[in-house]
Amino acid sequence: MSGVIANNINSAIISGQFGLQRSFDGMTQSALNIAQRSAQQDVAANGPTELLANAAVQSLSNTSRLLPSGGDSLTSDLLSMQLYSKNALASAKVIDVANDTVGKIIDTLA
C-alpha cells in the first residue's frame, strides 16, 4: 500500500515540476516575442538614417535569426504570459499539496 502512495506522491511532484517548467518556457517565449516586436517597431518608426541606426538594424537582424519567430500579436503574447503565469501558480500548488501530503504520511507513520 505504501508503494502505491509513494508512486502517487512522486507522480504529483513530477507533474507539478513539469507544469512549472512548461509555464516558465512559455513565459520566456512570450517575453521574447514582445521584446522582438517592440524592437522592430522602434526601428521602423525611427528609420535607419545614421550609422547608429544601421548598426541597430544589423543587430536586430542578427538577433531575429537567433530568436524564434514572434507570435501573431502583442495581445496574444500578453495573454500567453497571463496564461503561463496562472499555469505556473497551479503547478506550484500541486507541488505544495504533494509536499503537505508527504508530511502528513510521515507524521502518521511515525
Q: What is the pLDDT of residues 20-43, one digit of tens each?
A: 899 889 999 998 888 888 767 766
Contact 16, 94 (CB under 8 A): yes
**Among the ranges given (25-29, 32-36, 65-69, 82-86), the one the predictor scored with the smallest mean pLDDT:** 65-69
pLDDT at 48: 45
Q: Which residues contact 95 (CB under 8 A, 6 or more apart)?
A: 12, 13, 16, 17, 20
d(CA 2, CA 102): 11
Report whether 43 contacts 57 (CB < 8 A).
Answer: yes
Q: Percent of the chain scored above 70 by pLDDT?
A: 63
pLDDT in tens, 89-104: 888 888 888 888 877 7
User: Which of 82, 74, 63 has its CA nearest to residue 37?
Assistant: 74
> Which one-letter DSSP state was computed for residue 1?
-
